[in-house]
Structure 1
Amino acid sequence: MSLTFGTAGVRAPLGPGPDRMNAGTVALVATAVARHVRMREPAGSTVIVGGDARHGSARFVEVAAAVLAAHGLVVVVPGSPVPTPVVAAAVRARGAVAGLMVTASHNPATDNGIKVYGPGGVQIVPPTDAEIERHLTAAAREGVDVPHAGASGVLVDPTLVDDYVASVVTGLPTPARPPRVALTPVHGVGGEICRRVLAGIGVDDVTLVAEQAGPDPDFPTVDSPNPERPGTTLRLRRLAEEIGADVALALDPDADRCATGFVGADGRWRMLDGDETGGLLADHLLTSPLPGSARTVGSDSGAPVVASTIVSSRLPSLLVPARGGRHVETPTGFKWLVRAGDPLRYAYEEAIGHCVLPDVVADKDGISAAGAWCAMIGSGGPPVGARLDALAEEFGAHVRRNVPLPLQPGSDPAVELRRAADLLVSTGTVTPLDGSAGFRVSTPGARAVIRPSGTEPLLKTYVEAWTPARPSASDRADAARRVAALADSVASAVAS
């Protein structure tokens, strides 16, 4: 069995063999991408290749760059580990025809992968993925030699990072009252570059979690490098309390995602989920557009678009029109979110991915999101907790429970989805998802989305209930009961 190329590229454990990430499989993937590009673009076209600080990344960047150069392409590499948004931005800014980023994002330390961008720094979509997959199959059948490093046609350009920082800083406002920031890159590559961006907008009081500040591919202080996990942000929350921070920020290891934290009225720090951060940023960015926004106040380019996905909260569908914008719901993935419509003001996914400067990075970008969040907090106004309460007063409280449900080994996710859907017909109205595998079940005042994971043997479930505007304590309690009841029904259907 060999690696399968999908719309996000490839991702797999490190190790020997055709279904693992190693120099040989990287050469095959790079060959497939090169053949696809050369069928459409002339020799001498530019491709950007970068990588993070994971095990194997430096070697895989060398291999991929050499393969692409051997196919007549001019390959530009940054010469050091970089965040994913730097590569996405460089593809767009340099007019490159493609970009390859070696990363496994927030996967375990044993994994690595390759993410592929098309022109404009946008993730590829069908049928491009299928075309590259066909080239990959052919290359595997023919066999491809692993090239030596140092091939001609590979240019080292460290200014890719400088250009990214300058573009993001230009697109963000300077907060009137710069906040004090606690920051962790979770042993990834985003710490210093994020600090440079924040300093560029006047946010100089930034303290990194010391044990997690530098890149370490083993992620030694956490069980998982995913900032959505409470244990991953424990040190960050402690630091925020110790220094009296105004903002707590956690990037994932390749810095394309950002989790935000705040101190509650009880003095305790907690992290917001992606929908809470998304709701607050959508509200702020529609009423206070960023300098780098595609549409400024008073322009005639149409209502600004805010996009979220089918598994995100229903809150944006209420909030965005109320603020004069147009809400678009897309299938999961930023490859769809950034194509939601023009002029795109902001896009987010519940898995703490945010696109705040689509004209700079047409993908999720944790560093520019961190800057936008600091600008919002530093602009004045009520604290985060009060902002959340205000949204609940206006649009109702939204209660969520997102839980992955494991499947039995060897089971077929498609079969399990159909069986769960059949069982849930008695619970509510079941409808298939447009453009995605999975379904939605709706009950009065609640809904759930169930879809298969693309990387693990499990079904992902996203359950939400809501209250009327100006909710009472009993309204909130009722929503909590509804979300628990629907979540239990979904779990029982999947387990049956």
Structure 2
Amino acid sequence: MSDLRDAAAEWLSQDPDPDTRAELKAILSAGDDAALASRFGARLEFGTAGLRGELGAGPNRMNRVTVMRAAAGLAARVRRDAPDGGVVIGYDARHKSELFARDTAAVLTGAGLRAWLLPRPLPTPVTAFLVRELGAAAGVVVTASHNPPRDNGYKVYWNDGAQIVPPVDAEISAAIDAVGRVDELPLGDDWTVLGEDAVQAYLAALGDLPLGDARDVRIAYTPMHGVGRDVLLRALDRAGFPAPAVVGEQAEPDPDFPTVAFPNPEEPGAMDLVLALAAGTGADLVIANDPDADRCALAVPTADGWRPLTGDEVGALLAEHVLRHTTGDDRLAVTTIVSSSLLRSVAAAHGVRFAESLTGFKWIMKAGAAGDRMVFGYEEALGYSVGGDAGLPVHDKDGIGAALVAAALAAEARRDGRTLADLLDEQARRHGLHATAQLSVRVQDLRLISDAMARLRSAPPAELGGRAVASLDDLAEGVDGLPPTDGLRFRLAGDEGSARVVIRPSGTEPKLKCYLEVVLPVGEGEDVANVRKAAQAALEALRKDVGRALGLA
């Protein structure tokens, strides 16, 4: 424990933040060894696109020292390729985000690089877009996306406007390790604060999306206490859509997210307020962004009330719309190995190229081959990158662009006397009903996850959900030409239809995530609603058996 106290004392001597200094002094004064070990017994790893963790003092928390070290490591790596390069810096409205962004700008300019700081809290895709628009060497967004209020994060983009992948992430991590005391770093003050023309450039690029000409649609919207509202309202107005009804309680950015347990549209109850608003205003469509507006959730009215769509359902609908409104045999549609297999069928029906990637948009953007023109990419966790004949305006998930295309899709359907629910049923009749679900197990001890994965590898189940395991792929060995990753894929056989289960540790949270899919045929004249019920029953059986196999649920 004396080593931890020494580390805390060194931290105190260089920490520029009075808040975290006061926190650490109180811990030392109280002799709270557990709190000290939690902050200094480990450190945040620079991994999935950057850093993410709880705010507080010490190397295992997000704070100004951690951020300045990350910025210095990034600067060292950028200077290796682009000694005179620049970095675009964006931030959301979370606690300390603007301060962390300004610290990043000071460190980067002190290292001799250019830094462009966004004018205010803005959606993450604005920064991703501006990296390429400004010819920057890299980009940074200070955000924890949809994490709880106590968290913040540090997302890094490379010069292609996409999130970093190996080996760049490991090289930045090694450069961070080599950083000394942050109070000895040279700091600059000559960064550029971008103006509204930067936001206008992003909005203009969205004008090239395949929006069609239908505009009559009534939308209920929530930014979920985040930064998406103003930019989305401007995007809808520029495109000629009517202004949506906005949830008043969630309209303004609020880092405490007071109306939701988790500010994630996927979480139960998170969309309750916008669903109530939709019901009260006679809306045709519900749109929700997560707090940094890189994700987009939809809900549609049905005979049984409003139904939130899964990420896979939204992905299939957006893909169909994009492929219907674009041209060229070089078009590419991409999704991940944990997303629904429906996109493969949709792409084939439209005669376009298809590719699968590992989980995460950093991998989606690297999918395909030379000569491919990606016009659509998505992951089941509500992330979509939507493009047109000119390709993708944003090389990352973009909740604003996806919302625009969703509005166009709903308006087009409304003009034709249909709903998005009707379109889903039509897809099921053409391609079979692809029903997906998740089982996520959150743990306190990360060893429980590694132990569960080891058990599944050494003694895999022979049957799941009443279906025999036909094959098992260990993704750690690399499959289908993909890089190795920790995960298992079970393909299941059955008398009718097919099924699949993918199990992997989360890259950003202490969770084991299981992705379930059941594909059932829809016979001529068969009621899709009945097939949907059968698929849900099959998914529930899978969920129970997978939970038992994990030994954690």
Specify which of 114, 128, 131 is matched with residue 91 of structure 1.
131
Specify which of 425, 430, 433 is matched with residue 389 of structure 1.
425
Output the amino acid matched with 2:492: T
423-432 or 408-417, larger mean C-alpha shift: 408-417
State how 1:257-276 maps to structure 2 within 5 Å. Answer: 257-266=295-304, 268-276=305-313
Give the paired residue count. 482
State how 1:7-156 maps to structure 2 within 5 Å. Answer: 7-43=48-84, 45-139=85-179, 142-145=180-183, 151-156=189-194
Residues of 2 paired with 1:15 and 1:385: CA distance? Answer: 45
| 1:78 and 1:158 in contact (8 A); partners too | no
State how 1:402-481 maps to structure 2 within 5 Å. Answer: 402-407=438-443, 409-411=445-447, 413-427=449-463, 428=469, 429-433=471-475, 434=479, 435=483, 436-444=485-493, 445-470=498-523, 472=526, 475-481=531-537
7-16 or 416-425, larger mean C-alpha shift: 416-425
Alpha-carbon displacement from aligned partner over 1:423-466 (angstroms, at most 9, x marks no partner): 43422122112332110112112110000112333210011111
Match of 1:293 in 2: none
Alpha-carbon displacement from aligned partner over 1:367-402 (angstroms, at most 9, x marks no partner): 000000111111233211111111111111122220
| Larger gyration radius, structure 1 or structure 2 | 2
| 1:276 and 1:388 in contact (8 A); partners too | yes
> Residues 233 and 408 (structure 1 numbering): CA distance in 2 closer, same or farther, change over 3 Å?
closer
| 2:111 and 2:187 in contact (8 A); partners too | no
| 2:322 is the alignment partner of 1:285 | yes
3-state secondary structure, aligned to 1:335: helix
How far residue 276 of structure 1 moved from its aligned partner, in angstroms, is: 0.3
Residues of 2 paired with 1:262 and 1:149: CA distance? Answer: 51
How far residue 303 of structure 1 moved from its aligned partner, in angstroms, is: 3.5
Residues of 2 paired with 1:235 and 1:146: CA distance? Answer: 49
> Residues 59 and 415 (structure 1 numbering): CA distance in 2 closer, same or farther, change over 3 Å?
same
Residues of 2 paired with 1:205 and 1:153: CA distance? Answer: 36
3-state secondary structure, aligned to 1:50: strand
| 1:174 and 1:201 in contact (8 A); partners too | no
Alpha-carbon displacement from aligned partner over 1:258-278 (angstroms, at most 9, x marks no partner): 001111134x11210100000
3-state secondary structure, aligned to 2:67: helix
Residues of 2 paired with 1:423 and 1:31: CA distance? Answer: 46
> Residues 175 and 239 (structure 1 numbering): CA distance in 2 closer, same or farther, change over 3 Å?
farther
Alpha-carbon displacement from aligned partner over 1:72-129 (angstroms, at most 9, x marks no partner): 1111112211110010010011111100000000000100011000012111100000
Residues of 2 paired with 1:495 and 1:332: CA distance? Answer: 24
3-state secondary structure, aligned to 1:232: coil
How far residue 486 of structure 1 moved from its aligned partner, in angstroms, is: 2.4
Specify which of 173, 190, 202 is matched with residue 228 of structure 2.
190
| 2:236 and 2:243 in contact (8 A); partners too | no
Output the amino acid matched with 2:488: F
State how 1:315-354 maps to structure 2 within 5 Å. Answer: 315-341=342-368, 342-354=372-384
| 1:23 and 1:146 in contact (8 A); partners too | no
| 1:446 and 1:482 in contact (8 A); partners too | no
Alpha-carbon displacement from aligned partner over 1:266-317 (angstroms, at most 9, x marks no partner): 4x1121010000011111111123xxxxxxx2x4xx3311111111111112
Give aligned-pair identity as a percent. Answer: 42
Residues of 2 paired with 1:479 and 1:178: CA distance? Answer: 34
Alpha-carbon displacement from aligned partner over 1:321-372 (angstroms, at most 9, x marks no partner): 0111122111001011122222101001000000003531100000000000
> Residues 33 and 281 (structure 1 numbering): CA distance in 2 closer, same or farther, change over 3 Å?
same
| 1:54 and 1:217 in contact (8 A); partners too | yes
Residues of 1 paired with 2:531 and 2:403: CA distance? Answer: 33
How far residue 239 of structure 1 moved from its aligned partner, in angstroms, is: 0.7
Output the amino acid matched with 1:442: R
| 1:48 and 1:99 in contact (8 A); partners too | yes
Q: Structure 2: which 5+ runs fail to align?
A: 1-41, 464-468
| 1:423 and 1:493 in contact (8 A); partners too | no
| 1:66 and 1:147 in contact (8 A); partners too | no
Specify which of 232, 246, 252 is matched with residue 284 of structure 2.
246
Residues of 1 paired with 2:425 and 2:211: CA distance? Answer: 25
Residues of 2 paired with 1:135 and 1:51: CA distance? Answer: 23
3-state secondary structure, aligned to 1:449: strand
Residues of 1 paired with 2:53 and 2:239: CA distance? Answer: 38
| 2:221 and 2:244 in contact (8 A); partners too | yes
**TM-score between the two structures when normalised by the length of structure 2:** 0.84
CA RMSD of aligned residues (A): 1.9
| 2:378 is the alignment partner of 1:378 | no
Output the amino acid matched with 1:193: V
3-state secondary structure, aligned to 2:122: coil
| 1:62 and 1:149 in contact (8 A); partners too | no
Match of 1:311 in 2: 338
3-state secondary structure, aligned to 2:115: strand
Output the amino acid matched with 1:397: L
**TM-score between the two structures when normalised by the length of structure 1:** 0.93
147-156 or 442-451, larger mean C-alpha shift: 147-156
Output the amino acid matched with 2:51: V
Output the amino acid matched with 1:392: A
Q: Structure 1: which 5+ runs fail to align?
A: 290-296
